[in-house]
């Protein structure tokens, strides 16, 4: 029976009780004691700060405990409390004074507090401190990395509770039990692979398991690899580019570039694609592009000279050079959606047209003994003019150069059909003449130079010579 | 009377390409020295340097033609810029040809490398060794727009021939002669305007001539019509979007369209932008025109060095967005104020 609504597994298998939270025994003990002390009325610290790597169970523990004790959760994450006024609002609506209508206690949860130091005005931090002092409910702060100097006062006000990175075994155990509940065939190696890749992040491991299970109906190592490797890479690249662009220090930006398996010349395309989305101030954008262009110049020098030593300078400029060029903080730390290098998509979409264009360029280049780029820039635009304005003459050129039908259509959108037909007529006429004259001029060959006789033949009839071709 | 040559037409730049050295109407000094090689049936390695459309490739083919006759291609290996010419090709294909036995009737074979300045340093080094090892049976002719980009050891092994930009009279005389061959009506001012737009590049001049002729006759208005039609409207849009709207992302999309769908190279776009910048239809201050032109020069230089088209031109767009900032803050007189 398919269920009407699909709940993601991370939600479906969320721990309901504290003992379902995997590992973190020490953190559990500390946290429960602290909550209990609150409701007994005399907490040693009025707030706690749960910190540790993503997916290690910080939120899960809070939610499981609230569920067990019947406490109401009031949750906010970083984007909700950027300004001090946001925090004051919570203080007003939920924190001060016990609600008469609800007998239940509450827990106020501020998630991602480490995100606040960079994005919010500093008033927000004071407001949180005020909230902690005045709240009649426990305030729980959650962070991945609480060691930012700006958060020092907050740390002092909180009971610090550390969550450790989950072990691979612990992650694997959970994956196993989910497979059992979902009646999903899985092999040991696949779970090893997913658990390994998660680096102790249970949330991402469960998401990965779901993706593989959904996609393939069973969880095998090869399925997991096929699905996760590619997806991982793109997500990862966005993160790396974001880190680079938001870096405040040169070393940060340079280090970020090591966190991807893209080569520097690929990475520069991703930076180029997304830089203008992040650096919206014209001054910043120009400075950053100067840096990016310097990096690109180094790449060209590497190719020319073969000195790979120069690579490090290219990387310096495309990472640190770019990051430090973005000075306008209003945009620098703003979250914007990044995208895949558009030019790669464009190239894929226009493959056929480009193929025709390249073939035509080669054809012209071989006739004129020039490079294909000259053919494209100097000759093809002029051919387009001829093909658009003089179909009769265009047809003769198409015949002389032995152009394919798609080349003709490439050169003229409007006259394409007409010219193709004219060329066919010319070919037939030529074939008839060939039969008459014993097949002397075969199709597909061209005279090395115009013989005086034939040019004379062509010139008889009209003074203009161009749109004149005999139709006898 | 129908035959292939009455029905089919070629590009005039091919049709009227001189086949023999004696047909070449310009570069007299160069031609004279090359004719000595033909007479003595001996020559050193050669490096032909000069701007596009000045007859370098033509001279190389004409030289081979005069040495070996109509079937000169039998004794010449020709590698164009569009061919693969990495170090592997040099070590295999070129080496095979260079070391192969000399046919009885010729003094040496020729390897012709067009746009040698675009070859990587590695490939040029490999080439240098071949030039040394097989000099008794094979001579190299290298062609380059920028001889300074040919590595020093190769330059010193070659006799360098400099091809000067063509003079106005040379170009106009040649164009007039072609018009008479083709029985096309033309006037002097039309032909002179072709020289103006092609700047001493004979191949380009002849191409413009043929397109103008296709419109009817060769006069000033047809020449400029051809040049206008051959310039994509997106080039001006690019300039305007960046300067007046300050919309970088939109401008970059236009740029990509120019590169991917028209197949224009970065240098092509820079050149066309340069023309636009000084066009009276682009209403900007004279100072700004000069400032943009200066930056265009810088971008073109980087591109010639081998930098990436899209990144360099995006840097240019970023510069234009910045330069246009004061224009956007006060409403432009010729345009209605926006926002």
Out of B5, B7, B214, the one facing A386 most closely (by C-beta) is B214
pLDDT reading at A6 higher than 70: no
Domain spanning B4-162, CATH architecture? 3-Layer(aba) Sandwich (3.40)
In angstroms, rounded to a whole number, what is the distance separating the alpha carbons of residues B183 and B169?
Answer: 20
Domain spanning B233-329, CATH architecture? Up-down Bundle (1.20)
The predicted pLDDT at position B316 comes to 96
- Which residue of chain B has the CA closest to A368? B14
Q: Which residues in chain A are closer than 8 Å to B81, comparing Cβ atoms?
A: 371-373
pLDDT reading at A78 higher than 90: no
User: What is the CB neighbour count within 10 angstroms for residue A346?
Assistant: 16
B216 vs A357: CB contact, 8 Å cut-off?
no
In angstroms, rounded to a whole number, what is the distance separating the alpha carbons of residues A209 and A179?
Answer: 9
The answer to whether residues B306 and A304 touch, using CB atoms and an 8 Å cutoff, is: yes
- Closest by Cα among A99, A93, A91, A104 to A132: A91
Q: Which residues in chain A are closer than 8 Å to B252, comparing Cβ atoms?
A: 276
List pLDDT tens digits, range A390-418. 999 999 999 999 999 999 999 988 888 99
The answer to whether residues B219 and B189 touch, using CB atoms and an 8 Å cutoff, is: yes
Residue matched to tokens 């370098």: B56
Considering only residues A86 and A172, tell me which one the structure prediction assigns the higher pLDDT: A172
pLDDT reading at B93 higher than 80: yes
User: What is the CB neighbour count within 10 angstroms for residue B94?
Assistant: 22
Backbone phi and psi for residue B200, each to the nearest 5 degrees, phi listed first: 75, 10
The answer to whether residues A406 and B49 touch, using CB atoms and an 8 Å cutoff, is: no
Mutate to test the interface with B, among A285, A307, A339, A385 (most CBs of B within 10 A): A385
Q: What is the DSSP code string of B127-196?
A: HHHHHHHTTTTEEEEEEES-GGGS-HHHHHHEEEEEPPPPPHHHHHHHHHHHHHHHT--B-HHHHHHHHH
pLDDT reading at A364 higher than 90: yes
In angstroms, rounded to a whole number, what is the distance separating the alpha carbons of residues B20 and A273?
Answer: 51
Task: Determine the average pLDDT of the residues in A171-187.
Answer: 90
List pLDDT tens digits, range A121-168. 557 777 788 888 888 888 999 988 788 777 888 899 999 999 988 998
In angstroms, rounded to a whole number, what is the distance separating the alpha carbons of residues B29 and B336?
Answer: 59
The predicted pLDDT at position A84 comes to 67
A94: tokens are 């939920």
A407 CB near a chain B CB, below 8 Å?
A: no
Residue A83 is given by DSSP the state S
Task: Determine the average pLDDT of the residues in A443-471.
Answer: 40
In angstroms, rounded to a whole number, what is the distance separating the alpha carbons of residues B37 and B34?
Answer: 5
Task: Determine the average pLDDT of the residues in B201-205.
Answer: 93
In angstroms, rounded to a whole number, what is the distance separating the alpha carbons of residues B247 and B229?
Answer: 26
In angstroms, rounded to a whole number, what is the distance separating the alpha carbons of residues A468 and B227?
Answer: 24
- Closest by Cα among A95, A110, A117 to A142: A110
Please report which helix (H) or strand (E) contains residue B48, including its range.
strand B45-49
In angstroms, rounded to a whole number, what is the distance separating the alpha carbons of residues A258 and A345?
Answer: 25
CB within 8 Å of chain B, chain A residues 122-141: none
Question: Band of the pLDDT at B99, cuts 50, 70, 90?
Answer: confident
Task: Determine the average pLDDT of the residues in B290-316.
Answer: 94
The predicted pLDDT at position A459 comes to 38
In angstroms, rounded to a whole number, what is the distance separating the alpha carbons of residues A319 and B229?
Answer: 42
The predicted pLDDT at position B10 comes to 93
Give the rounded distance of the alpha carbon of B200 from its chain centre: 11
The answer to whether residues A415 and B302 touch, using CB atoms and an 8 Å cutoff, is: no
- Closest by Cα among A385, A354, A377 to B264: A377
- Which residue of chain A has the CA closest to B198? A378
The predicted pLDDT at position A43 comes to 81
Length reported for chain B: 339
Task: Determine the average pLDDT of the residues in B134-143.
Answer: 93
pLDDT reading at A246 higher than 70: yes
CATH 3.90.1490.10 fits B168-230, yes or no: no
For A146, residues 6+ apart whose C-beta sits below 8 A from its C-beta are A49, A51, A113, A114, A154, A155, A160
User: What is the CB neighbour count within 10 angstroms for residue A462?
Assistant: 13
Q: Do domains B4-162 and B233-329 have the same CATH topology?
A: no
- Closest by Cα among A390, A389, A366, A364 to A378: A364
List pLDDT tens digits, range A40-64. 877 888 899 999 888 899 999 999 9
Cα separations (Å) of A366 from A361, A375, A409, B255? Answer: 9, 10, 20, 28
The answer to whether residues A88 and A123 touch, using CB atoms and an 8 Å cutoff, is: no
A347 vs B8: CB contact, 8 Å cut-off?
no
Burial (0-12, 13-18, 19+ Cβ within 10 Å), B198: buried
B312 vs A389: CB contact, 8 Å cut-off?
no
In angstroms, rounded to a whole number, what is the distance separating the alpha carbons of residues B137 and A153?
Answer: 84
Please report which helix (H) or strand (E) contains residue A48, including its range.
strand A47-51
Q: Is A300 helix (H, G, I), strand (E, B) or coil?
A: helix
pLDDT reading at B24 higher than 60: yes
Q: Where are the domains of chain B?
A: 4-162, 168-230, 233-329
B250 CB near a chain A CB, below 8 Å?
A: no
Out of B6, B231, B311, the one facing A469 most closely (by C-beta) is B6
B4 CB near a chain A CB, below 8 Å?
A: yes
In angstroms, rounded to a whole number, what is the distance separating the alpha carbons of residues A457 and A445?
Answer: 19
B328 CB near a chain A CB, below 8 Å?
A: no
For A80, residues 6+ apart whose C-beta sits below 8 A from its C-beta are A86
Considering only residues B208 and A344, tell me which one the structure prediction assigns the higher pLDDT: B208
Question: Band of the pLDDT at A230, cuts 50, 70, 90?
Answer: low
pLDDT reading at B81 higher than 80: no
The pLDDT > 90 percentage for chain A reads: 29
Backbone phi and psi for residue B45, each to the nearest 5 degrees, phi listed first: -65, 145
Please, what's the largest Cα pairwise distance for chain A?
Answer: 114
User: What is the CB neighbour count within 10 angstroms for residue B148?
Assistant: 10
pLDDT reading at B58 higher than 60: yes
List pLDDT tens digits, range B101-130. 888 888 999 999 988 888 888 888 888 999
B215 CB near a chain A CB, below 8 Å?
A: yes
- Which residue of chain B has the CA closest to A397? B9
The answer to whether residues A165 and A145 touch, using CB atoms and an 8 Å cutoff, is: no
In angstroms, rounded to a whole number, what is the distance separating the alpha carbons of residues B66 and B78?
Answer: 16
In angstroms, rounded to a whole number, what is the distance separating the alpha carbons of residues A345 and A322?
Answer: 24
């Amino acid at each position: 029976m398919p269920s009407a609504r699909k709940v993601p597994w991370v939600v479906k298998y969320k721990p309901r009780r504290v003992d379902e939270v995997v590992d973190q025994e020490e953190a559990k003990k500390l946290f429960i004691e602290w909550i209990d002390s609150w409701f007994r009325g005399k907490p040693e610290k009025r707030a706690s700060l749960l910190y540790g790597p993503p997916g290690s169970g910080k939120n899960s523990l809070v939610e499981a405990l609230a569920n067990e004790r019947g406490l109401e959760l009031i949750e906010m994450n970083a984007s909700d409390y950027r300004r001090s006024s946001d925090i004051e609002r919570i203080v007003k609506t939920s924190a001060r004074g016990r609600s008469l209508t609800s007998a239940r206690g509450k827990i106020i949860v501020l998630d991602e507090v480490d995100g606040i130091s960079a994005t919010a005005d500093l008033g927000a931090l004071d407001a949180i401190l005020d909230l902690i002092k005045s709240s009649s409910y426990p305030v729980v702060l959650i962070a991945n990395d609480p060691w930012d100097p700006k958060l020092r006062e907050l740390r002092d006000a909180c009971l610090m509770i550390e969550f450790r990175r989950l072990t691979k075994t612990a992650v694997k155990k959970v994956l196993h039990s989910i497979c059992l509940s979902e009646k999903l065939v899985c092999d040991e190696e696949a779970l090893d692979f997913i658990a390994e890749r998660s680096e102790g992040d249970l949330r991402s491991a469960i998401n990965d398991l779901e993706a593989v299970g959904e996609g393939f109906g069973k969880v095998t190592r090869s399925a997991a690899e096929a699905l996760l490797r590619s997806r991982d890479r793109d997500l990862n690249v966005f993160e790396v580019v974001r880190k680079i662009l938001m870096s405040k220090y040169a070393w940060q930006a340079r280090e970020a570039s090591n966190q991807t398996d893209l080569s520097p010349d690929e990475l520069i395309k991703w930076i180029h694609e997304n830089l203008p989305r992040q650096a919206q101030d014209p001054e910043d954008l120009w400075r950053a592009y100067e840096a990016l262009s310097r990096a690109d110049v180094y790449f060209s020098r590497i190719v020319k000279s073969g000195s790979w030593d120069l690579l490090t300078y290219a990387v310096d400029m495309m990472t640190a050079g770019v990051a430090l060029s973005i000075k306008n903080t209003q945009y620098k730390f703003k979250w914007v959606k990044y995208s895949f290098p558009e030019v790669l998509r464009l190239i894929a979409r226009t493959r056929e047209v480009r193929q025709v264009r390249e073939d035509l360029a080669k054809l012209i280049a071989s006739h004129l003994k020039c490079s294909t780029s000259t053919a494209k820039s100097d000759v093809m635009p002029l051919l387009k003019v001829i093909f658009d304005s003089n179909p009769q003459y265009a047809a003769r050129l198409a015949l002389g150069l032995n152009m394919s039908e798609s080349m003709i259509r490439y050169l003229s959108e409007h006259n394409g059909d007409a010219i193709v037909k004219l060329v066919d007529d010319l070919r037939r006429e030529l074939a008839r003449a060939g039969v008459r004259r014993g097949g002397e001029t075969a199709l597909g060959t061209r005279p090395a130079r115009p013989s005086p006789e034939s040019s004379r033949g062509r010139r008889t009839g009209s003074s203009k010579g161009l749109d004149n071709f005999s139709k006898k | 009377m129908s035959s292939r040559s009455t029905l089919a037409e070629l590009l005039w730049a091919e049709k009227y390409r001189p086949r023999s050295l004696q047909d070449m109407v310009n570069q007299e000094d160069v031609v004279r020295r090359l004719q000595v090689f033909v007479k003595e049936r001996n020559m050193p390695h050669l490096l032909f340097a000069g701007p596009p459309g000045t007859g370098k490739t033509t001279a190389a083919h004409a030289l081979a033609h005069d040495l070996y006759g109509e079937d000169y291609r039998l004794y010449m290996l020709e590698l164009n810029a569009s061919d693969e010419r990495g170090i592997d090709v040099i070590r295999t294909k070129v080496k095979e040809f260079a070391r192969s036995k000399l046919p009885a009737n010729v003094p040496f074979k020729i390897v012709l490398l067009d746009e040698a300045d675009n070859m990587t340093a590695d490939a040029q080094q490999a080439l240098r060794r071949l030039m040394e090892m097989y000099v008794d049976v094979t001579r190299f002719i290298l062609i380059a727009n920028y001889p300074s980009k040919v590595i020093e050891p190769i330059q010193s092994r070659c006799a360098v021939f400099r091809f000067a930009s063509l003079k106005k009279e040379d170009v106009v005389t040649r164009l007039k002669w072609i018009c008479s061959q083709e029985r096309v009506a033309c006037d002097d001012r039309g032909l002179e305007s072709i020289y103006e737009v092609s700047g001493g590049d004979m191949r380009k001049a002849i191409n413009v001539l043929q397109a103008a002729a296709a419109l009817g006759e060769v006069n000033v208005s047809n020449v400029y019509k051809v040049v206008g039609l051959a310039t994509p409207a997106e080039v001006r849009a690019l300039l305007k979007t960046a300067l007046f709207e300050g919309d970088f992302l939109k401008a970059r999309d236009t740029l990509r369209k120019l590169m991917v769908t028209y197949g224009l190279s970065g240098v092509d776009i820079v050149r066309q932008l340069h023309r636009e910048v000084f066009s009276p239809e682009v209403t900007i201050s004279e100072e700004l025109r000069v400032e943009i032109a200066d930056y265009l020069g810088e971008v073109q230089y980087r591109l010639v060095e081998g930098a990436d088209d899209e990144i360099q031109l995006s840097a240019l767009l970023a510069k234009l967005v910045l330069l246009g900032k004061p224009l956007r803050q006060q409403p432009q007189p010729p345009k209605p104020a926006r926002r």
